[in-house]
Amino acid sequence: MFDVIVIGAGPAGVVAALRAGDLGAKTALVTRDLFGGMAANDGPVPVRTLAHAARLMRDARQLGQYGIRVGAPVLDYALLLERVREVSCAVREHSAFRQQIDDVGVVVHEQCGPVRFVDPHTIATAGGLELEGKHIVICTGGVSRQLSVPGAELTATHSDAWKLSEVPPSMLVIGGGATGAQVASIFNAFGSKVQLFHAGPRIVPTEDEDVSAAVACGFRKSGIEVRENFGVIDSFEKTPAGVRMNFSHNGERGIAEAALAVTAIGWIANTAGLDLHKAGVETDNRGFIEVDDFLCTSASHVFAAGDVTGRLMLAPQAVHDGFIAGTNAVKGSTMDIPEQVAPIGSFTDPEYAQVGLTEARARATHDVIIAKINFDTTTRTIIDGRTDGFCKLIVERPTREILGCHIVGERAVEIAQVASVAMAGGMRVDELAQVPLSFPTYAGVLGRVAASATRQLNLRVPSEVEIA
């Protein structure tokens, strides 16, 4: 019998298994597919590789502005997919975790198909693998939510991008959250005529309102047809050239047609087929596994970590969860989930990123000042010809605490990392304003925006740091 069995080898499962092994527990890691999970094989790594290709296309189009004469870039999608596979493979091969997992003696069962519970302590696969564990950590991640309208089977998800042989001439993207926005932005850059349909009033709805507006504006400028508040989908039908979406808005019928329709309408827990009831593990009303602050489920010997718990569904959070669940599976519930600064970003064109509270949420709960610097006034963005965007800082007036930072534009995600470090380190805004950030850099905008906030607080700002 194993001390700990971990199900799923994404970021959460790999770290949970490594931690349990490190603590001396006899540990098994069992996973349906390849080591690395969604992050390495179907999520951030391959999608970021496509996004990098999209960026190279953009960069190539800018060459003329700097006096470099070349022809218009032409994408060979099949070659790009080869590169995606190469990158995913390299990421898996160079995963430091894999070596460490092997070094601590974790038994890894890869590509063994879906696992299900047979009884509270036993798991099995259709292929005949059966393992018993004193403690079990479930890290099976999430899956795309599917539409339930007639013809929904005619739609694709982001995962089907890897099976396309060429870039579709036109695409409907349904859902303007993080994944839908990325799909729309990438395939628009590759030359697809993209229509992005979002049921709510604004795309990327979990972002600050100014960010949503700027991203929608940037998308429209680059040729994406953004349709917010578009109504409800009635059905999909096959057409000679692809697919037709029938929808209604305020009683009026509408249609949209394209070669391919991709849905990105949310992410649900990947628990179907696990037979959780046999282990006494309960899910919440959204289907995610219910956990307490120690990531323990309703069955005291079973823990869950990562996307399957439905909290912030990002790779770094999955890694942290994995460490906590691995620790608690071995030592008992001793380590709880800390409150953390959590930067979130997306590699669209324009990029956008956030950390902390949005302006609306901050205004509802705090006495705040808002500082904003537009990218058309900062030196590096002017040098690089990337002047669309802004950086916004939200500061609590009485304490000078930085509550949030929101960025749209070139290197937004990297800028958010610097803001996150400042926030995690508890820097006051006037302290951030005094750091002589390198010039001319993208992150330098943080010095400018912090100086602007500091001035609003009637505090002194050294003039020499006001360059970016």
Ligand X SMILES: Cc1cc2nc3c(=O)[nH]c(=O)nc-3n(C[C@H](O)[C@H](O)[C@H](O)COP(=O)(O)OP(=O)(O)OC[C@H]3O[C@@H](n4cnc5c(N)ncnc54)[C@H](O)[C@@H]3O)c2cc1C
Contact residues: ligand X, CB under 6 A: 7-13, 30-33, 37-39, 43-44, 47, 114-115, 139-141, 158, 179, 270, 273-274, 306-308, 313-316, 318
CA dist., res. 460 & res. 454, Å (int): 7
State the minimum distance, in angstroms, from the CB of residue 19 to ligand X: 13
Distances (CA, A) of 383 to 100, 412, 440, 442, 445: 44, 16, 9, 11, 14
State the minimum distance, in angstroms, from the CB of residue 302 to ligand X: 14
State the minimum distance, in angstroms, from the CB of residue 265 to ligand X: 12
Q: Which two tokens stand for residue 88?
A: 């995913």
Contact 91, 36 (CB under 8 A): yes
Indicate the pairing of strand 402-409 with strand 352-356: antiparallel
Q: Which two tokens stand for residue 127?
A: 């292929």
Nearest to ligand X of 141, 409 (CB atom): 141
Residue with tokens 């009637």: 458
Contact 256, 150 (CB under 8 A): no
> Within 10 Å of residue 241's Cβ, how many Cβ atoms?
12
CA 429 to chain centre: 28
Nearest to ligand X of 162, 467 (CB atom): 162
3-state secondary structure (DSSP) of residue 167: coil
CA dist., res. 285 & res. 296, Å (int): 18
Q: Which two tokens stand for residue 449?
A: 């925006």
Nearest to ligand X of 30, 437 (CB atom): 30
Indicate the pairing of strand 107-109 with strand 170-174: unpaired
State the minimum distance, in angstroms, from the CB of residue 280 to ligand X: 17
State the minimum distance, in angstroms, from the CB of residue 35 to ligand X: 7
Alpha-helix residue ranges (DSSP H) falling in 277-408: 315-331, 359-365, 379-384
State the minimum distance, in angstroms, from the CB of residue 288 to ligand X: 11
Nearest to ligand X of 37, 389 (CB atom): 37
Nearest to ligand X of 35, 247 (CB atom): 35
End-to-end CA distance of the chain: 60
Nearest to ligand X of 183, 405 (CB atom): 183
Nearest to ligand X of 231, 316 (CB atom): 316
State the minimum distance, in angstroms, from the CB of residue 129 to ligand X: 10
State the minimum distance, in angstroms, from the CB of residue 347 to ligand X: 7
Nearest to ligand X of 308, 443 (CB atom): 308
Residue type, 348: T
Nearest to ligand X of 179, 378 (CB atom): 179
CA dist., res. 331 & res. 428, Å (int): 37
> Within 10 Å of residue 165's Cβ, how many Cβ atoms?
7
State the minimum distance, in angstroms, from the CB of residue 445 to ligand X: 22
